[in-house]
Amino acid sequence: MYRNILCLALGLIIGIQLTDFLEYFQLTDSQFASTAITQLEEGATPQLATEEELALWLQNETRVLCMVLTLPKNHQSRVRRVKGTWGRRCNKLIFISSQEDRELGVIDVGVPEERNNLYLKMRKALEYVYRNHGEDYDWFLKADDDTFVIMENLRFMLYPYDPEAALYFGHRFRTTFPQGYMSGGAGYVMSRDALRRLNLFAFNNSQFCPINNNSEDRQIGFCLQNVGVVAGDSRDEEGRDRFLPLSLKFMLPTFPTDNWLPKLTFRSDCCAASAISFHYVKDFEFELFEFFLYYLRVFGLHRTPRALPSRLGFRQMNERLQHWSQQVTDNKN
Ligand SMILES: *[C@@H]1O[C@H](CO)[C@@H](O)[C@H](O)[C@H]1NC(C)=O
Ligand SMILES: *[C@@H]1O[C@H](CO)[C@@H](O)[C@H](O)[C@H]1NC(C)=O
Ligand SMILES: *[C@@H]1O[C@H](CO)[C@@H](O)[C@H](O)[C@H]1NC(C)=O
């Protein structure tokens, strides 16, 4: 009797180990890392890939459509620079302007250029994107033509979250209405469901989302709040910012801080090592960012995490959203 049980147990152990061994063997046998990626089931995380391969896999797993707000006089300067640098790494890149340029991927949303009109322009862009691409991507990023975005870090941050949750991220300003709003210049990124809610329930409702001359970021933030889209916390584990609304030099701790930011921002130390966006990037700086980020290597440094964070389940996701929606802006943290 006992002997039988012992044999059964031994058999199981050997069986399991043999299976492990075979799997290991099959994987090593077939250039494991890249095979591991292509054989992935949807939703599964690759275990055996290098960070570079993970980032590549993530490109199609966390799909981001980028909308860059610009105007005709910047088409040949900033639009070209964005397109030649970080914009290449979007799954889809659309420039929003008042004059079409097909070669550059610029659309005309039919709103005359004027500072007061930026909100209206962005609304039109969000309508256009929803109509044409609303179901084809997971996240929708808005940036300006003087923003630089590290798409790999954006995807890394977004990966745990279900794009079917009503959620958006950015640099959150603590002002104006309970959940505050995300800086337009640092860029904000909304989930597929957030974009859908805006289009189905906000844009047709003059109370939730009135047309006015307020600033674009504040007003879009207002509309999002009113249709239940939660302002997420994009800071890293130590509370350092990932979306930087000022020029980088102003964010550095040694720089005199007599600017407007500290009044508006949540407590933060510059800057997360996993930073995502930079604002007020000068024309020549696009190439500088590109050089330092994507070309230069420092011998001996290994700077990125070796795995993706795990994806949140339904319950965890709800808990996180609830936590954030209670984090209203009069809370000093
Ligand atoms: C991502 O998807 C695009 C379009 O479907 C495809 O052309 C590309 O090869 C994919 N990239 C990776 C790394 O799987
Ligand atoms: C807006 O559209 C949605 C979906 O079609 C509808 O349910 C809602 O009643 C509309 N709101 C207004 C104010 O018309
Ligand atoms: C917005 O400003 C324009 C002038 O720039 C003005 O014509 C228009 O009436 C204003 N709209 C609102 C809703 O205040």
Q: What is the 3-state secondary structure (H, E, C) of 126-146?
A: HHHHHHHHCCCCCEEEEEECC
Into how many domains does the chain fold?
Answer: 1
In a domain, 26, yes or no: no
Per-residue pLDDT of the chain (333 residues; tens, 9 = 90+): 455 544 444 444 444 443 343 333 333 323 323 333 433 445 555 555 788 888 899 999 999 999 999 999 999 999 999 999 999 999 999 999 999 999 999 999 999 988 789 999 999 999 999 999 999 999 999 999 999 999 999 999 999 999 999 999 999 988 778 888 999 999 999 999 999 999 999 999 999 999 999 999 999 999 999 999 999 999 998 888 899 998 887 776 666 555 555 555 544 567 888 999 999 999 999 999 999 999 998 888 877 777 888 999 999 999 999 999 888 765 444
Domain that holds residue 167: 47-295
Ligand 1, atom 6: closest residue by C-alpha: 60
In a domain, 127, yes or no: yes
210 lines ligand 3 (CB under 6 A): no
- Pocket test of ligand 1: the residue of 34, 60, 89 to mutate, having most ligand atoms within 8 Å of its CB, is 60
The confidence score (pLDDT) of residue 25 equals: 32
In a domain, 213, yes or no: yes
116 lines ligand 3 (CB under 6 A): yes
Q: Where are the beta strands (DSSP E) in the chain?
A: 64-69, 92-97, 106-108, 139-144, 148-149, 167-169, 172-173, 181-182, 188-191, 230-231, 243-244, 277-278
Q: Report how far ligand 1's centroid is from the alpha carbon of 189 (Å).
A: 22
Instruction: Give the ligand at the shortest distance from the Cα of 219.
Output: 3
How far apart (Å, rounded) are the C-alpha atoms in residues 231 and 328?
9
19 lines ligand 3 (CB under 6 A): no
Instruction: Give the ligand at the shortest distance from the Cα of 197.
Output: 2
How far apart (Å, rounded) are the C-alpha atoms in residues 36 and 48?
7
Q: Report how far ligand 3's centroid is from the alpha carbon of 120 (Å).
A: 11
In a domain, 248, yes or no: yes
- pTM for this model (two decimals): 0.82
88: tokens are: 């290449």
Q: Report how far ligand 3's centroid is from the alpha carbon of 56 (Å).
A: 46
Ligand 2 pocket by C-beta < 6 Å: which residues?
200-201, 204-205
In a domain, 72, yes or no: yes
Ligand 1, atom 7: closest residue by C-alpha: 60
How far apart (Å, rounded) are the C-alpha atoms in residues 100 and 254?
43
Which of 217, 20, 48, 234 shows the shortest CA–CA distance to 122? 217
In a domain, 14, yes or no: no
In a domain, 135, yes or no: yes
Ligand 1, atom 1: closest residue by C-alpha: 60
- Virtual torsion, Cα 184, 224, 235, 302, nearest 10 deg: -70
Residue type, position 173, single letter: F
CATH number at residue 211: 3.90.550.50
Using DSSP, state whether 315 is helix, strand or coil. helix
Q: Report how far ligand 3's centroid is from the alpha carbon of 213 (Å).
A: 6
Ligand 3, atom 8: closest residue by C-alpha: 213
28 lines ligand 3 (CB under 6 A): no
In a domain, 226, yes or no: yes
Residue type, position 20, single letter: D
Q: How many C-beta neighbours within 10 Å does residue 214 have?
A: 16
Instruction: Give just the sign of the alpha carbon dihedral 63, 69, 75, 77.
Output: negative
Q: Report how far ligand 3's centroid is from the alpha carbon of 332 (Å).
A: 35
Residue 22 burial by Cβ neighbours in a 10 Å radius (0-12, 13-18, 19+): exposed
Question: Locate tokens 């147990």: which residue?
Answer: 9
Atom of ligand 1 nearest to the CA of 56: 13
